[in-house]
Amino acid sequence: MLSKKIEKALNAQIKIEAESSQIYLAMACWAEVKGLEGVAGFMYDQSQEERDHMLKLVKFINERGGHAQISQLAAPNVTFTSFKEMFEKLLEHEIFVSSSINDLVHITLEERDYATHNFLQWYVSEQIEEEAMARTVLDKINLIGNDKGGLYLFDRDIEQLTVTSASMDTPE
């Protein structure tokens, strides 16, 4: 059974994950109308992934005797000065989400809710991966600079981008 404190914190995280999905969706729309089909596809996939993260929390809360709450969302930014700025905003947002997950983990330890603590470890690892992905993309964007040919290749290749963080590596 979830404590009210943990239920409230998890419900707040549902909102963050839903807003993350909306942020990625807005980025996908912006990229698509700019002719960046690869970036748009990447962002559409990321948007769906964030929605899946939200649904995982919803089901967990309900299965543990709580009541998942779906709340109003803040409207995401829908315009960017460049695709580099868009990815910088993405990294900032992922750092914010990581901080929120870390706060949640801390609450579970205070409340001695080890089942929820264990459940949240997936999110901890996922956030390490999300931040690594955003940093990798920004590194590639910085390499490209203002090269239009590089942008074309980046747009074509981004859908195949996979980043494996050190936290996901398993010793053999």
Q: Residues within the annotated binding site for Fe cation?
A: 17, 50, 53, 94, 127
Q: Where are the alpha helices (DSSP H) in the chain?
A: 4-33, 37-63, 83-110, 114-144, 148-157
Token pair, residue 123, equals 């999110």
Name the 3-class secondary structure at 72. coil
Token pair, residue 38, equals 């690869």
Phi and psi torsions of 91, nearest 5°: -60, -45
Going from the C-alpha of 141 to that of each of 60, 87, 114, 118, 137, the distances in angstroms are 37, 9, 41, 36, 6
Binding annotation: 17, 50, 53, 94, 127
